[in-house]
Amino acid sequence: MDHPVRPPAGRQPRPQLGDLLERSAELKRGLVDYVQGPRFERQLTAALLEAAGDDLVLDETRFIGIVDHFALQHRLRDGRTPLQRYVATCPDLSEAEREMMLGWQDVVEGVFEIRAKDGDALVLLNLLDDLEYRTYSNAGRVGLRGTVKGGFVVGRIVPIVPCPGTWLISGSLAFFRKSDGPEVAEIALRAAVEHPALVFRNPDKLAQGWEQMRREREAFMAYFGTDQLVLPPAEAQNSVNAFTRHRWESARTQSDRHDPAEPFPQHLSFTLPEDLADADTVGIVYDQVEGMNFYRDYGLLDALFTDPALATSRRHASLLRSYMRDSSITPLPIQRMAAAHPDTVDAVIGKVLRKPGFTWAEHGEAWLRECKADFYQREPLPGVSVVGDRLAELVATGRR
């Protein structure tokens, strides 16, 4: 006589995917109600207003996306997310439900091509990271209505952790037809350039990114003779464009499909950010880890570290303070100044930041970690974008 196999004492049987999908709908509704309640009203409203911009207009898809991002990824003062707070208020969750919900924080934002429809699932190729995701909707097949093989969707998905290899639509999707491929490709390409972390979920793309950036940096140094330039804004922009054109022409001449009459693609043209256009100088630093970065008034910063007497200048002192306070600036420029001016760095930082007894050798690293804590908590990523084969194919089709 056969006997049913029971799990070890104290452990619950692993739930079926269908049960988790059905339960996820109820749990997600509870989470959304929680974050839209009075507890987070001020913070969520601020996030919505920022997304709405000057027009103060948000369509439904964008509204849902902002709420979803806030619920799953927004960091509160204690470092937790609203999702983590909510789960802590639900003691009756099963082990699998708790595991599933906390797994929702690992969001994949992507531009997806529908490779197949398989029962209640879509097989999606993310054009950003070149990975496939077997994806479900907690509304079942109704939630996938309007999707067809060869079409595209843009949106967010999260893992169903208790069932490895399965993913769940989070928020709402924007749907595109197969004929919209060129338009979708431009959306994906823009996202890959502006948010390279979305690409580097794929370990292969990460390795390609580091190798590509190494080659680009070597080419930059061969072209300019250095990995650091300090130029007036207009000259900085022209120099980057000259280098970009040089790299494009080199790649073109090495291509089997070289067309001598092909014009330089306008989308490769570089425009200096507006906040640097009126700077005294712009520093262009191509670092081996952080890639190419641009720094405002870098020449003035270098002058300060060259001559500590300038520490009494309000303009120079304010510039150093702004470099330290600006969360978008990494420790790199200060590290570069310290390396270039070892004899003056102690005096400059000691005077400007009123740190008597400061020495770079003894206090520099700890000081940077205090001022730039967020940077040290992030994993470094290549400062270049890597385009997958399918995305490159779609982009080329649209631009022909």
CATH assignment of the domain containing 153: 2.40.50.140
Q: What are phi and psi of 28, to 5 degrees?
A: -70, -40
In a domain, 4, yes or no: no
| Whole-number Å distance between alpha carbons of 97 and 270 | 48
Q: What pLDDT score does 255 carry?
A: 66
| Distance of alpha carbon 347 from alpha carbon 344, whole angstroms | 5
Is 179 found in the same domain as 39?
no
Highest mean pLDDT among 60-69, 266-275, 311-320, 374-383: 311-320
Q: Write the pLDDT tens digit of every residue in 182-217.
A: 999 999 999 998 888 999 999 999 999 999 999 999
Read off φ and ψ for residue 353, nearest 5 degrees.
-100, 10
Picking from 384, 316, 336, the residue whose alpha carbon sits closest to that of residue 230 is 336
Domain count, the chain: 3
- For the chain, the distance separating the N- and C-terminal CA atoms, rounded to the nearest angstrom, is 70
pTM: 0.81
Whether residues 94 and 132 share a domain: the answer is no
CA–CA separation, 71 vs 39, rounded Å? Answer: 12
Residue 46 within a domain: yes
The reply to whether 370 and 273 lie within a common domain is yes
Q: Is residue 393 part of a domain?
A: no
The separation between CA 318 and the C-alpha centre of its own chain, rounded to angstroms, equals 30
- Residue 389 falls inside a structural domain: no
pLDDT in tens, 4-15: 444 454 555 667
What letter does residue 148 receive in the DSSP assignment? -
Note whether residue 398 is domain-resident.
no
What is the tens place of the pLDDT at every residue in 130-145?
999 999 999 888 888 8
Asked if the model's pLDDT at residue 349 lies above 60, the reply is: yes
Amino acid 257: pLDDT:
61
> pLDDT at position 12, please?
57
Asked if the model's pLDDT at residue 318 lies above 60, the reply is yes
Q: What proportions of the chain, in percent to the nearest 5, are helix, strand and coil?
A: 50, 15, 35
Does residue 399 sit within a domain?
no
Average pLDDT, integer, range 347-359: 92
Between these two residues, 385 and 223, which has the higher pLDDT value?
223
Is the dihedral angle over the CA atoms 287, 270, 382, 220 positive or is it negative? negative
- Which of 64, 80, 102 finishes a domain? 102
Q: Where among 47, 70, 102 does a domain terminate? A: 102
Clarify whether residues 35 and 76 are in a common domain: yes
285 and 365 within one domain: yes
**Are 75 and 184 contained in the same domain?**
no
Same-domain pairing of 48 and 148: no
Domain that holds residue 71: 17-102
| Residue 28 counted as domain residue | yes
pLDDT tens digits along 231-269: 999 999 999 999 999 998 888 877 666 666 678 878 788
Beta bridge partners of 291: 287
DSSP state, 275? G
Residue 4 confidence (pLDDT): 46
Does 96 score more than 90 pLDDT? yes
The mean pLDDT of the chain is 91
Going by C-alpha positions, the residue among 119, 151, 115, 113 that lies closest to residue 137 is: 119
Q: How far is it, in rounded angstroms, from Cα 328 to Cα 378? A: 13
Domain identity same for 28 and 160? no
Comparison of pLDDT for 377 and 298, the residue scoring more: 298
Has residue 391 been placed in a domain?
Answer: no
Tell me which of 167, 185, 201 is where a domain ends.
201
* Mean pLDDT, range 36-62, rounded to an integer: 87
* In a shared domain, residues 288 and 209: yes
pLDDT the model gives residue 5: 44
Considering the domain architecture, whether residues 126 and 175 belong to the same structural domain is answered as yes
Alpha-carbon separation of residue 229 from 158, 204, 284, 293, 311 (angstroms): 43, 32, 5, 11, 23
Instruction: Kindly state whether residues 52 and 133 are assigned to the same domain.
Output: no
Average pLDDT over residues 375-388: 89
Query: Does residue 274 sit in the same domain as residue 229?
Result: yes
